């Protein structure tokens, strides 16, 4: 009888998974690309350097454009 119980439990799990998938299909989440990448460069030292270069250029310090490349 344990086989039937196990089969019933497995069927219930499959049915619950199908219900969840059907709900996801019926109500898809927004694919806003900006929200997907927000924070992806967090704690990345190279990104911090890029931000600093951008700020320097906006302040009028274009000498950073002629700086030797970093390794």
Q: 15-34: per-residue pLDDT in tens?
A: 999 999 998 888 777 678 88
Same domain, 69 and 42: yes
Task: Note the pLDDT tens digit of each residue in 45-57.
Answer: 899 888 888 999 8
Distance CA 62, CA 59 (A): 8
Q: Count CB-CB contacts under 10 A for residue 64.
A: 14
* Mean pLDDT score, 4-10: 87
What is the domain extent for residue 5?
1-30
| Cβ–Cβ under 8 Å, residues 31 and 39 | no
Determine the pLDDT at residue 33.
81
| 3-state class (DSSP) for residue 38 | coil
- State yes or no: pLDDT of 67 exceeds 90: no
SS3 28: coil
Q: Do 66 and 51 share a structural domain?
A: yes
For the entire predicted model, the pTM comes to 0.40
How many domains does the chain fold into? Answer: 2
């Amino acid at each position: 009888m344990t086989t039937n119980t196990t089969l019933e439990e497995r069927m219930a799990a499959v049915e619950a998974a199908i219900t969840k998938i059907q709900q996801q299909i019926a109500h898809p989440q927004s694919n806003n690309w900006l929200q997907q990448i927000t924070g992806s460069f967090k704690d990345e030292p190279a990104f911090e350097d890029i931000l600093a270069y951008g700020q320097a250029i906006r302040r009028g310090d274009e000498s950073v454009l002629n700086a030797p490349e970093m390794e």
